[in-house]
Amino acid sequence: MFKRLAKLFRIGWAAKKIRASQSETEKLLAQRALVALLADARGISLKIGQLFAAVEGGSEFQSLTDSVPALPLKIMLPVLEKSLGFSPKTIFKNIQPATAAASLGQVHLAEFHDGTPIAIKIRYPDIANAVATELTLADLMPSVGKIQEWGFDLSAYKQTLFDTLQRELDYRIEAKTQTYFRDAVCVPRLEIPRVYDKFSSDCVLVQSRATGVTFPEIVHWSESERRLIAEILLQTLFTSLFVAGEVHADPHNGNTFYNHANHDSMVTLLDFGCTVSLNKTRRLALLKLILGCREKSTVNPLDCFVALGFDAQKLGHIQGALPLLSQMLFRPFLINHVFNLAEWQLEKNITNLLGEKRWWFRSAGTADILLLMRAFQGLTQQLQQLRINLNWWKILEQSVDETLLQQAREFVVPAINVSVTEFKVLDFASQAQKLHVKITQNNQPLVSVELPVETALDLESLMPDDVRLELMQSGEVDLAEMLQRLKSEGLSPQVLFACELGEKQYRVWLA
């Protein structure tokens, strides 16, 4: 434990040096030092580095997903022999040294004696003890800052971390998940390697060999091939989420291989140690929520979020904003054409809508929702790096049949077992669709426009300075109070204000 703690201390010190860097050169050198420490520590520390790589595409952390130095074969072979109970030479030949490594183990290419190419994933010696130590240290983390202020269930997050790492350490669980994924996620030109259960164990996973290149090498392929790959990736996520109920939640570059269009498969998905399972109730609730946004139905988003696993009492504080928040979250699904990811600006829009109250939403979700969001975030970053925009709704329809969509529409969301009646109830059908602005003078129309309903949240900044000043001086409208009320109660149909300023009459309403 002391050795592990010392490594973690050095990692923390290196991370602090990055934050304190005064120049780009100094920051780059500090990042390289941190990458070296993370690669050496492996385990949870390496997984954190891989998460940095997902967030900071193209950074020094990228090497942690591509080419972490592997341990020598002579260190790994005893693990394989102990697992098999006899010499690996009996069934394998041409076992090659690993060229790269992952956080908990590394892969060695080999063949069966009949010439069948395979890959043998072997867990590092003593990595289970190292992870157990880090989990013990993680359990000592105090609740501070936003975690304490907004009531994050830190114990649940720690338990999810513990459960996830325990599953990843047991390759028998990974083998079972991989086999299920291979059978249940049927996407054209997607390949999932076959598992050879007979030779696998808790510390060894034998599977068919995958070939191809990693993600950084495909960003310069032809647009047609990049588009095919983007469609496969998006369809894989939708099929795994809504049909199979098992989502791959570790979207770093080392877990996917790619091939040109002249191969049978273009995408090969690897490493099923970290996945998120969603039962049918949660899947239908999410699909019902998306359909409610699209169809502006009487679906109450609070009910759907709670069925997904969110805390009803916390969401109650922002219930009026939930319809618009849902439309922001699921915006790519709400249009019938190609969606430009650059227009999403999700974080900015949510902050504008909720301000500090956005922490009610973040703290209300279960720990595994974070893993699901990580899968979506990883995918959107890949699409952006591929420079490909897609029609999300069309691909969702291809991934789930109309029967499942109809099941979601008819799905009766379970009743909420806590009282939130003190908060305003607002469903998608009850929300206004447009912001209307009408200006007249001497009963003659000067301006008459319709704007997207969410524009109401930026109404003050959209006004000409002279009009805003005159309106404030008149005392007829408190713009700040009106904005706060809209954010709390939601954008229901209403007159925001109607007044006369000089010779002009102003009427602004939601409908």
pLDDT confidence of residue 26: 53
Strand segments, DSSP code E, in 364-490 are 434-441, 444-452
Spatial distance between the Cα atoms of 272 and 246, rounded to a whole number of angstroms: 10
Instruction: Please give the pLDDT value at position 129.
Output: 73
Domain range enclosing 489 = 434-510
Mean pLDDT of the chain: 84
Among 65, 92, 118, residue at a domain's last position = 65
Q: Flag whether pLDDT at 406 surpasses 50.
A: yes
Q: Mark which of 65, 97, 112 sits at the end of a domain.
A: 65
DSSP state of 242: I
How many domains does one find in the chain?
2
Q: What is the pLDDT of residues 3-30, one digit of tens each?
A: 554 554 555 555 555 555 656 555 554 5
CB 41 within 8 A of CB 11: yes
> End of a domain among 33, 65, 97?
65
How does pLDDT run across 307-346, given as a tens digit for each residue? Answer: 999 999 889 888 889 999 999 999 999 999 999 999 998 9
Task: Round to whole Å and give the CA distance between 428 and 446.
Answer: 32
pLDDT for residue 58:
47
pLDDT at 267 over 70: yes
Q: Residue 84 domain-assigned?
A: no
Q: Which two tokens stand for residue 215?
A: 């993600």
Q: With respect to residue 468, please indicate whether it lies within any of the assigned structural domains.
A: yes
Query: pLDDT tens, 343-384?
Result: 998 988 999 899 888 989 988 988 888 889 889 989 999 999
Q: Dump pLDDT digits (tens) for 170-196.
A: 999 999 999 999 999 999 999 999 999
Q: Tokens standing for 377?
A: 């975030």
Residue 50 lies in a domain: yes
- CB-CB contact of 420 with 316 (8 Å): yes
Give a yes or no: residue 19 inside a domain.
yes
Best-predicted range by mean pLDDT among 39-43, 51-55, 70-74, 226-230? 226-230
Q: Is residue 213 part of a domain?
A: no
pLDDT of residue 254: 81
Cβ–Cβ under 8 Å, residues 481 and 315: no
Q: What pLDDT is recorded for position 403?
A: 96
Would you say residue 284 has pLDDT above 60? yes
Residue 56: pLDDT band (50, 70, 90) is: very low
Q: What backbone phi and psi angles, to 5 degrees, belong to 350?
A: -65, -40
Note whether residue 274 is domain-resident: no
Q: Is residue 9 part of a domain?
A: yes
| Mean pLDDT confidence for 38-54 | 49
CA-CA distance, 56 to 294, in Å (whole number)? 32
Distance in angstroms (rounded) separating the CA atoms of residues 498 and 496? 7
Look at residue 452 and tell me if it is in a domain: yes
